[in-house]
C-alpha cells in the first residue's frame, strides 16, 4: 500500500502546467475559438516558462516553434507544402507522446509501486511533451483546418439526451465485462487520486483523444466515407498504442479495444471532442477509484 511519502509533486512543473491548463481549456471551449491574440501569447508564455524552469531546453522550445509554423500550413494552396504539414501534424504529436523528442525533463509523480490490491506495479508520470502534442493538434483544428469536410466532421456538435443513456449503458457493459473477466473491486481514494485526476484528464485523455479522433479517426473517415471503418480502425490503432504483454494482457487489451470503440462511436455520433475526452476520463477515473488498477485478473 502506498503512503503520501511515495508521491512526489515537483514544484518546477506547476508554472508550465498552470499555463497549459488555461490554454487547453480555452482551445476546448465549445463555440468560436479564442482570439489568436490571446492563445498565441499563452503558447509563447508556456514555452518560455518551461524553458526558464528547465522543464525543456532551448532546442526543444525552438523545435516546437518550428513545428507550430509548419503545422499552420495544413491549408496551404500548394499541395507539397500542405502534404508535408499534415505529415508533420501526424508525426510530431506521436513523437512527443512516445517521448522521442529530446530535451524534456522526465518527471515521475508516483511509483513504480503496487497500488491497492493490484499485482502490477503502477507509475504515474507528468509528461509535458505529451501535453504539448495535444496543444499542437488543438491549435491546428481550431484555427487552421477549414470546415469544408463532411457534415459530421464540421464544428457543429450533435449531442442529444438519449446519447447519454446509451453511453451510460455502454460504460456499465464495459465494467461488467471486466468484472466477469476477473477484475475485482478495490476502493481507493487519497492524495494520489487528486494527482491522477489532473494528469489523466489534462494530459492523457486530452492528448490521446485529440490524436485518435482529430487525426486518426478523421483521416480514416475522409478516405473511406464509412463511419464503421473510422470507428473500428481508430479503435484498433488505439489498442495497438496500448499494446503490452504479460499475464492478463489479452484481457486488458480486449477491454481497451472495447473502450476505444466507445470513444470513437461517441465522437462519430456527437462530433464532440470534449465529450470523447470526458467519456475517456470517466472510465479511467471509475476504474482507478473502484477497481484494481492497473487491471489484474483473478480466474
pLDDT at 202 over 80: yes
Q: Where are the domains of the chain?
A: 4-290
Please report, for residues 68, 70, 71, 270, 285, the alpha-carbon distance to residue 65 in angstroms, rounded to integers and kept in the order given.
5, 9, 10, 33, 34
Question: What is the per-residue pLDDT for 70?
Answer: 95
**What distance in Å separates the CA atoms of residue 84 and residue 76, rounded to the nearest whole number?**
10
Question: What is the per-residue pLDDT for 2?
Answer: 47
Alpha carbons within 13 A on the beta-carbon side of 28:
23
Which tens digit of pLDDT belongs to each residue from 159-188? 777 888 889 999 999 999 998 888 888 898
**When comparing pLDDT for 102 and 245, which is higher?**
102
Question: What is the per-residue pLDDT for 174?
Answer: 92
Dihedral angle, C-alpha 138, 140, 142, 144, nearest 10 °:
180
**When comparing pLDDT for 9 and 230, which is higher?**
230
Residue 151 CB neighbour total at 10 angstroms? 9
Which tens digit of pLDDT belongs to each residue from 214-263? 999 999 999 998 999 999 999 999 999 999 888 888 999 999 999 999 99
Cell of 276: 470523447
Dihedral angle, C-alpha 199, 172, 2, 55, nearest 10 °:
-10
Mean pLDDT lowest among 167-171, 277-281, 293-297: 293-297
Question: What is the per-residue pLDDT for 181?
Answer: 87
Cell of 28: 476546448
Average pLDDT over residues 95-107: 92
72 three-class SS: coil
pTM: 0.92
**What distance in Å separates the CA atoms of residue 263 and residue 212, rounded to the nearest whole number?**
9
175 three-class SS: helix
pLDDT at 151 over 90: no
Question: What is the per-residue pLDDT for 185?
Answer: 87
**What distance in Å separates the CA atoms of residue 58 and residue 64, rounded to the nearest whole number?**
10
pLDDT at 63 over 70: yes
**What distance in Å separates the CA atoms of residue 15 and residue 96, rounded to the nearest whole number?**
20
User: Which band of pLDDT confidence, cut at 50, 70 and 90, is reported for residue 11?
Assistant: confident
Please report, for residues 40, 140, 290, the alpha-carbon distance to residue 69 in angstroms, rounded to integers and kept in the order given.
12, 10, 44
Q: Which residues contact 216 (CB under 8 A, 6 or more apart)?
A: 233, 234, 237, 238
**When comparing pLDDT for 190 and 3, which is higher?**
190
145 three-class SS: coil
Question: What is the per-residue pLDDT for 137?
Answer: 96
Cell of 221: 473517415
User: Which band of pLDDT confidence, cut at 50, 70 and 90, is reported for residue 153?
Assistant: very low
Average pLDDT over residues 12-25: 94
With a pLDDT cut of 70, the percent of the chain lying above it is 93
Contacts 24+ apart (CB under 8 A), 286-290: 286/171, 286/175, 287/175, 287/178, 288/188, 288/193, 288/196, 288/200, 289/187, 289/188, 289/189, 289/193, 290/185, 290/186, 290/187
Residue 32 CB neighbour total at 10 angstroms? 8
CB 217 within 8 A of CB 264: yes
Amino acid at each position: 500500500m502506498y503512503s503520501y511519502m511515495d508521491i512526489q509533486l515537483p514544484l518546477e512543473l506547476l508554472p508550465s502546467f498552470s499555463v497549459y491548463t488555461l490554454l487547453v481549456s480555452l482551445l476546448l471551449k465549445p463555440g468560436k475559438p479564442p482570439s489568436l491574440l490571446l492563445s498565441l501569447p499563452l503558447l509563447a508564455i508556456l514555452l518560455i516558462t518551461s524553458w526558464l524552469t528547465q522543464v525543456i531546453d532551448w532546442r526543444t522550445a525552438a523545435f516546437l516553434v518550428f513545428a507550430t509554423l509548419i503545422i499552420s500550413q495544413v491549408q496551404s494552396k500548394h499541395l507539397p507544402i500542405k502534404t508535408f504539414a499534415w505529415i508533420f501534424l501526424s508525426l510530431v504529436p506521436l513523437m512527443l507522446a512516445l517521448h522521442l523528442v529530446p530535451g524534456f525533463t522526465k518527471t515521475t509523480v508516483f511509483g513504480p509501486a503496487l497500488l491497492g490490491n493490484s499485482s502490477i506495479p503502477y507509475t504515474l508520470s507528468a509528461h509535458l511533451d505529451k501535453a504539448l502534442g495535444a496543444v499542437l493538434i488543438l491549435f491546428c483544428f481550431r484555427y487552421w483546418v477549414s470546415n469544408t469536410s463532411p457534415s459530421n466532421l464540421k464544428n457543429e456538435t450533435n449531442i442529444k439526451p438519449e446519447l447519454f443513456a446509451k453511453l451510460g449503458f455502454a460504460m456499465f457493459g464495459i465494467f461488467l465485462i471486466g468484472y466477469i473477466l476477473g477484475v475485482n473491486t478495490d476502493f481507493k481514494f487519497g492524495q494520489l487520486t487528486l494527482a491522477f485526476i489532473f494528469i489523466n484528464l489534462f494530459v492523457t485523455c486530452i492528448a490521446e483523444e485529440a490524436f485518435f479522433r482529430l487525426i486518426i479517426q478523421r483521416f480514416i473517415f475522409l478516405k473511406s466515407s464509412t463511419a464503421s471503418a473510422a470507428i473500428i480502425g481508430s479503435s484498433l490503432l488505439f489498442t495497438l498504442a496500448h499494446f503490452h504483454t504479460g499475464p492478463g494482457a489479452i484481457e486488458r487489451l480486449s477491454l481497451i479495444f472495447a473502450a476505444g470503440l466507445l470513444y470513437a462511436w461517441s465522437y462519430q455520433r456527437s462530433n464532440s471532442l470534449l465529450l470523447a475526452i470526458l467519456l475517456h476520463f470517466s472510465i479511467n477515473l471509475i476504474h482507478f477509484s473502484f477497481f484494481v488498477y492497473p487491471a489484474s485478473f483473478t480466474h
